[in-house]
Amino acid sequence: MSGGFFEYRQHCISNIIDDMEKLLLSGNFPFEIEGEIKDCISLLRKSYVYVQRIDWFLSADDGYETFLVRLKEDLAKVKRLEEI
């Protein structure tokens, strides 16, 4: 089993998201700063999806059409998650 094109480094993005979400739970931030952190988390979630999908495409786990379909599906999941 290979480490994929990016050698699993995209999971560092996921770890950062987890850390930021834990920080938000502490409630130690002014409202404006909390909003910026939430915006950052949103961007990181999308970034993770893109890097993961590109990794799978470059590693030949996804073909051209599969890449596009799965990218769209995964981004839709992120959008639904943010609407909660």
Q: Rounded to two decimals, what is the model's pTM?
A: 0.90
Q: Residue 49: which of 22, 81, 26 has the closest Cα?
A: 81
Number of domains, the chain = 1
In a domain? residue 33: yes
Give the domain extent around 35. 11-83
pLDDT digits (tens, 9 = 90+) for 15-30: 999 999 999 999 889 9
pLDDT digits (tens, 9 = 90+) for 19-78: 999 999 998 899 999 999 999 999 999 999 999 999 999 999 999 999 999 999 999 999
In a domain? residue 4: no
In a domain? residue 1: no
In a domain? residue 35: yes
